[in-house]
Structure 1
Amino acid sequence: MSRWMITILFLVGSAILTNWIPFSSFFRNVDTMVHELGHAVTTLVLSGQVLYIELYSNHSGVTYSYIERGWRTIPLGLSGYITASLFAAFLFSLYGKGKLKAGFIAMTLLAVVSLAFFVNNSFGVMWLIGFMIVNVIAMLVPFEWFRKFYYLLVSFICLEESVMGPIHLILLSVTRPGQAGDASSLSRATHIPAIVWAVLFLVIALLCARKAIAAFVGRNRSGRTRSSRWESQA
């Protein structure tokens, strides 16, 4: 079976299974947090000014900022979805290397930075505090199976959201091209149709998902091999 088919099957299976897990909706804002942080950091790198970020209970978010018009609006528009896709792949890369603690720390630090410098609406603040508390508890629980389950739950949800976001954007680009979020912003800045940018986001998301699933499958195969060797030696 090709890697692309495996990736698609994992994404579909993950989307089905995680929706059955109680409270999984809580973790879907991790992708939103990373997406908006991508916009915020890019704004600062491009010498703009970030006013604040708002995170909402429907898993959407918005970054309010000032930036000089012109070419700077292009990397700013690209940064949200691409950052979210890269972060999902990053979490799986750490899992593949057996560095779950580093992944926990990375997620928690991003939440701390968001809370300390950017997010100011009531839901966003409460969600960030809750996420940090849950993250620390999960990291300190003395059961490896639970830490792994929690880490993979958050990672797979981030991966799903990083792919589903561009798919939703493609649909909006067809039905309401002026309201397709970052794709519409990029379209206004470049005069390239919003759907082109939405498809670009999806391609990047799928490439990152392919890398993520390869790391996940590779880690599990490696683990089974080591276990088999240990049992034969015993």
Structure 2
Amino acid sequence: MSRWMTTILFLVGSAILTGWIPFSSFFRNVDTMVHELGHAVATLVLSGQVLYIELYSNHAGVTYSYIEQGWKTIPLGLAGYVTASLFAVFLFNCYRKGKLGLGFVAMSLLAVLSLAFFVNNTFGVVWLIGFIVVNGIAMFVPFPFLRKFYYLLVSFICLEESVMGPINLIYMSVFDPSRAGDASGLSRSTGLPAMLWAIVFLIFALLCARKAIADFMAVNRARKTPAPRWESQV
């Protein structure tokens, strides 16, 4: 089976399985948090000013900021989806290397930074506090299989959301281009169709998903590979 087919099957299967878990919706805002932080950091790097971030219960989010019009709006528009996809790759890379603690710390640190400096709406603040607490408990729970289950649940949800976001953008760019989020903003900045930018986001997300799934499968292959047998002859 090709790596692309494997990636698609994993994404579809993951979406179905996580959809059956009642509390999985809570973790879908992790992707939103990372997405909006990507915009915020890009704004600061480009010498702009971040006003605040809002996270919503429907897993949407928005970053309010000031930045000079011109070429700077292009990397700013790209930052959200690119950051979210790269973060999903990071989580699976940590899993492949057996560094779940690093992934846990990264998730918690991003949530703390969001709470301390950017997010100010009621739902966003409450969700961040809840996620920090839940993530902390999962990090130190004395049952390795529960830590691994939690970590992979959040990782796969982040991966799903990083791909579904661009797919939704493609849908919106067809039926209501003015509401296609970052694709609409990039379209206004460049004159290129929102659909084109949505497709660019999707291609990048799928490339990242391919890498993430490869890292996940590498761990399983390593476990199935028998240890080498050494024989000496006299």
TM-score bracket relative to the smaller structure: over 0.9
Aligned to 1:12: 12
SS of the residue 1:142 aligns to: coil
Aligned to 1:26: 26
Listed one character per residue, the Cα deviations across residues 92-113 of structure 1 (whole Å, up to 9, x for unaligned) are: 0110101000000000000000
> One-letter code of the match for 1:101?
G
Whether 1:180 aligns to 2:158 is: no
Listed one character per residue, the Cα deviations across residues 37-94 of structure 1 (whole Å, up to 9, x for unaligned) are: 0000000000000000000000000000000000000000000001000000110011
Aligned to 2:223: 223
SS of the residue 2:166 aligns to: helix
Distance 1:132 1:215 in 2: 26
Aligned to 1:46: 46
Give the CA deviation at 1:22.
1.7
CA RMSD for the aligned pairs?
A: 0.9
- Structure 2: state its 5+ residue gaps: 229-234
TM-score (norm 1): 0.96
> One-letter code of the match for 2:64?
Y
Kindly report which structure 2 residues correspond to 1:1-234, keeping only aligned pairs within 5 A, or say none. 1-225=1-225, 228-229=226-227
> One-letter code of the match for 1:151?
Y
Give the CA deviation at 1:221.
1.3
SS of the residue 1:71 aligns to: coil
- Structure 1: state its 5+ residue gaps: none
Give the CA deviation at 1:223.
2.4
> One-letter code of the match for 1:108?
S
Give the CA deviation at 1:224.
3.0
Distance 1:175 1:21 in 2: 31
> One-letter code of the match for 1:149?
F
Distance 1:150 1:39 in 2: 27
Distance 2:66 2:5 in 1: 42
Distance 2:185 2:34 in 1: 19
Listed one character per residue, the Cα deviations across residues 3-51 of structure 1 (whole Å, up to 9, x for unaligned) are: 0000000000000000001200000000000000000000000000000
Distance 2:66 2:85 in 1: 25
> One-letter code of the match for 2:11?
L
Percentage of identical aligned residues: 77
Superposition misfits of 4+ residues, deviation over 3 angstroms: none
SS of the residue 2:142 aligns to: coil
SS of the residue 2:227 aligns to: helix
Distance 2:141 2:220 in 1: 22
Give the CA deviation at 1:229.
3.4
SS of the residue 2:28 aligns to: helix
Distance 1:165 1:223 in 2: 33
Distance 2:82 2:103 in 1: 19
Listed one character per residue, the Cα deviations across residues 147-173 of structure 1 (whole Å, up to 9, x for unaligned) are: 000000000000000000000000000
Distance 1:60 1:220 in 2: 34
SS of the residue 1:229 aligns to: coil
Distance 1:128 1:84 in 2: 17
